[in-house]
Amino acid sequence: MVVVEKFPSVGGNTVRAGGPMNAPDPAWQNTFAANPGEANTLQELHDIDEATIDPEFIDDFRALKVEIEEYLKDSTYLFDSKLLYRIQTYLGGKRKDLKGNEIHGNYQLISVLTERALESVRWLENIGVEFVRDEVTMPVGALWRRGHKPKVPMGVAFISVLKDFVLKNGGIILTDTQVKELLITDGIVTGVKGIGRNGQTITVNGKAVILTTGGFGANTKMLQQYNTYWSEIDDDIATSNTPAATGDGILLGQSVGADLVGMGFSQMMPVSDPVTGALFSGLQVPPANFIMVNTKGKRFVDEYGSRDQLSQAAIDNGGLFYLIADENIKETAYNTSQEKIDAQVEAGTLFRADTLEELAEQINIDPAVLVETITNYNSYVDAGHDPEFDKGAFDLKVEKAPFYATPRKPAVHHTMGGLKIDTKAHVINENGQTIKGLFAAGEVAGGLHAGNRLGGNSLTDIFTFGRIATDTAIAEYLG
């Protein structure tokens, strides 16, 4: 196997990922207590009008309703199932574009993802990735606590292990090499041609090609060209993506006749750095601990919502907002260390104070307003109900000094559209036929996440369909 990497080091957007990946594991999850609000979230899901459910999902939805009814008889523990994961992925991606055209994920692709997600976690464990077992986390916009968090922060936990795995098993990694052309032999995609770090032509001949090049979140012109979801995408919009995410794999697929699906839908990450768009800064904590306040010090949204809902709410409030945390909530952050926190406070990109009043002054907010907002929020945690925004679930209150404020602003994070694939990761052409020898997995492929991707699903996607693509290619061309 030869891995051809555009940048000087491997990892792409995965290195930048928050870390947790979704996979229902009820035997593990059921050992944790339910959070206030989670039972209400399930009841609301149960009560959705069946007339709004697309036909291919109706049987699964009805089966899920039975599971929920049984669970609500004793809702003291954390519930999960493959059906809940499937329906949340489907509903979480169901959106309408600016003209009212609806899109939802492909049933077969969603079924594969949700059936084999835990298998992907186990595979990663087998090759050396270590996961935290004393906590079930939830990335922003995931809709449910089913996140498996690596012990090593961020996506480095995966890439370092995967790189060693490839090299130890005889793989070759070519970095600083940009693929420019797919090579076809007797109607089969068998290799690639590209440009190496010194400008030399690099040709790699093989039996098949798997595209895992990511999306086009760092290509503003391409985002604007295809956009059918956001009212406007500014020329200077920031992105959380690696600069390498420019849609190369999509263009390569098109060059051999690949069909595209869902290209008009891109996702904003609401909790991005307001200057760089990155996710490395500040305190990234589970949404049950999100307290989002605008520049006036007031909450403005159900912080447990989907990424596009949170992003739109932030945009409607001027874009910039703050995540408020205390010492206890800080301990739930999965993207940082005390050393990094201290450095950011020193640099003025993260704010810390011994009282809420002092914190408010640092971020130019009326202290009385912020104190009132936090006092109200803490009372909602105690009551298990948010009368203002009906937050989906709660965890900790804001009560232990020091207190923190992380400035955030939405930035482009994920592009849901891409090459059309089937459940075996074959790339499909415009006539509905497979392109022999060509496979795709991850963000370069479309059809799975539809109009909005759930937080934590990208990692599950790449590891599930990446393995499927490899297994299929080996079986069909190396078997």
Count Cβ atoms below 10 Å from residue 289 Cβ, excluding itself.
26
Written as six digits, the tokens of 264 are: 């008009």
* CA angle in degrees (0–180, nearest 5) for 320-280-10: 135
Instruction: Look at residue 284 and tell me whether its pLDDT is greater than 90.
Output: no
How confident is residue 225, by pLDDT bands cut at 50, 70 and 90? Answer: very high
Look up the CATH number of the domain holding residue 393: 3.90.700.10
Instruction: Look at residue 334 and tell me whether its pLDDT is greater than 80.
Output: no
Q: What is the pLDDT of residues 13-64, one digit of tens each?
A: 999 887 799 999 999 999 999 999 999 999 999 999 999 999 999 999 999 9
End-to-end CA distance of the chain: 14
Look up the CATH number of the domain holding residue 168: 3.50.50.60
47 and 178 together in one domain: yes
Q: How far apart are CA 290 and CA 360, in angstroms?
A: 17
Q: How far apart are CA 206 and CA 275, in angstroms?
A: 43
Q: How far apart are CA 11 and CA 1, in angstroms?
A: 17
313 and 429 together in one domain: no
Among the three residues 365, 393, 411, which one is the final residue of a domain in this structure?
411
353 and 425 together in one domain: no
206 and 57 together in one domain: yes
Q: How far apart are CA 412 and CA 266, in angstroms?
A: 7
74 and 156 together in one domain: yes
319 and 391 together in one domain: yes
- Put simply, whether the predicted model's pTM sits higher than 0.85 gets the answer yes
Among the three residues 411, 427, 442, which one is the final residue of a domain in this structure?
411
405 and 420 together in one domain: no
- The reported pLDDT for the residue numbered 78 is 98
How confident is residue 335, by pLDDT bands cut at 50, 70 and 90? Answer: low
Summarize the confidence of residues 444-453 as an average pLDDT: 98
Q: How far apart are CA 347 and CA 275, in angstroms?
A: 13
226 and 105 together in one domain: yes
Q: How far apart are CA 103 and CA 101, in angstroms?
A: 7
Q: Give the gyration radius of the chain's Cα atoms.
A: 22
| Given the residues 16, 145, 146, 307, the one annotated as active site | 307
- Contact assessment for residue 90 and residue 103, using Cβ atoms and an 8 Å cutoff: no
Active-site residue 116, yes or no?
no
| Containing structural domain, residue 287 | 269-411
Q: How many domains does the chain have?
A: 2
280 and 308 together in one domain: yes
Share of the chain above pLDDT 70, in %: 100
186 and 69 together in one domain: yes
Count of alpha carbons within 13 angstroms of residue 199, beta-carbon side: 0
221 and 88 together in one domain: yes
63 and 208 together in one domain: yes
- The reported pLDDT for the residue numbered 231 is 87
Q: Which amino acid is at 313?
A: A
Among the three residues 389, 411, 433, which one is the final residue of a domain in this structure?
411
Written as six digits, the tokens of 44 are: 């609301």
Arithmetic mean of pLDDT over the chain: 96
